[in-house]
Amino acid sequence: MTIKSPTMTAPWQRLGKKLQMGLRACAEEDWLLTPDHFGDADMHRRQLALKQELSQTHHAAIFDATPDSIDASLETVNLIQNNLSAHHGIELKPDASRHPLDAAALQIPEDVLLLAPQEMDNGTVWILKAASLAFPSHWVLAEKMNLPMAAIHTPVPGYGDVLAGPVDRFFTAMLKGPISQRRNWALQIDDGLFTPSRFDHAPITTDEIASRLFVRVERQTLRKLPVTGWIIFTIQTAIAPIGIWQDDQPALDDLAALIAAMTPAERDYRGVNDYLQQLLDWVETSTE
């Protein structure tokens, strides 16, 4: 695995931990197949291979779709095909025996989810109706299907108070055509991409922090389908060992301070207690 020198700003320094949408415009040519966040030139190939493997061994866990999602799925596949052909010189060759969204998503490194509007007494909410989710970051697809965004994010501390309303209003007001993007980051033990459970790992020691604690970055995009008006939500995942920053004391100090400042609810949600003291000890000794 080839990873760039960590002269780049560490994700936690650039993105912090503040709960926010943080959306930016995304050009059509940058929608899919963007370079790996950490410069790992082989990541896309490995992700595609893992998707194929998971499709054989855990298909029910990584794909689901409601019957009313077929039109939006076909519309999504058409957009993916046009983008890959126009900007990457790639032609999709989906398996016709599969659901169209399932077949198309297996050929790109991104996860692809579809959200549909539903009118409620308090306004429009957005419901998860279809998903090819090979690389979940500690959530289970079957538990989130057919739920609105607020319910999906119930475990996220502060989401209901800070983001639930703004997210639904933004989705409803989205224009058809423009693409938005955002990034978020997290830490996890070990380098798994298919991680529905946060706690499916062996304990970690201070000496193992550099090689077993990983920084996970998600690049997420949003665009509204022109015909159905549903929203495509894509997630491109990148992951690298935190040890690549072991000689960057300011970055490590910032990380330790950020994690130490988490509320008990945030620590519980993020599983930080699994490695908090080990991480703080490693930061203290890593550049001595």
Express each pLDDT in 99-115 by its tens digit: 999 999 999 999 999 99
Average pLDDT value over all residues in the chain: 90
Of 28-32, 139-143, 158-162, 260-264, the one with minimum mean pLDDT is 158-162
Instruction: Provide, rounded to the nearest whole percent, the portion of the chain with pLDDT above 70.
Output: 94
In 10 A of CB 30, how many CB atoms?
Answer: 16
| Inter-axis angle of helices 276-286 and 249-260, nearest 10 | 150
Number of Cβ within a 10 Å radius of residue 205: 12
What is the 3-state secondary structure of the chain?
CCCCCCCCCCHHHHHCCCCCCCCEEECHHHCCCCCCCCCCCCHHHHHHHHHHHHHHHCHHHHEEECHHHHHHHHHHHHHHHHHHHHHHCCCCCCCCCCCHHHHHHCCCCCEEEEEEEEEECCEEEEEEEEEECCCCECCCHHHHCCCEHHHHCCCCCCHHHHCHHHHHHHHHHCCECCEEEEEEEEEEECCCCCECCCCCCCCCCHHHHHHHEEEEEEEEEEEECCCCCCEEEEEEEEEEEHHHHCCCHHHHHHHHHHHHCCCHHHHHHHCHHHCHHHHHHHHHHHCC
Look at residue 4 and tell me whether its pLDDT is greater than 50: no
Q: Model confidence over 77-107: pLDDT tens digits?
A: 999 999 999 999 999 988 999 999 999 999 9
Question: Can you give the pLDDT at residue 211?
Answer: 95
Which pTM does this prediction carry?
0.93
Residue (of 199, 155, 193, 215) closest to 58 by Cα position: 193
Buried b / exposed e over 163-187, threshold 16 CB at 10 Å, is bbeebbeebeebeeeebbbbbbbbb
pLDDT digits (tens, 9 = 90+) for 15-38: 765 556 678 999 999 999 999 999
Model pLDDT, residue 200? 79
Q: Which two tokens stand for residue 180?
A: 């938005």
> What local confidence, expressed as pLDDT, does residue 122 receive?
79
Q: Average pLDDT in the 129-134 region?
A: 98
Q: Is the pLDDT of residue 2 over 60?
A: no
- pLDDT, one tens digit per residue, over 179-217 is 999 998 889 999 999 999 887 788 899 999 999 999 999
Q: What is the pLDDT of residue 126?
A: 95
C-alpha pair distances (Å), 286 with each of 7, 97, 154, 210, 282: 17, 52, 36, 9, 6
Structural contact between residues 61 and 141, judged by C-beta atoms closer than 8 angstroms:
yes
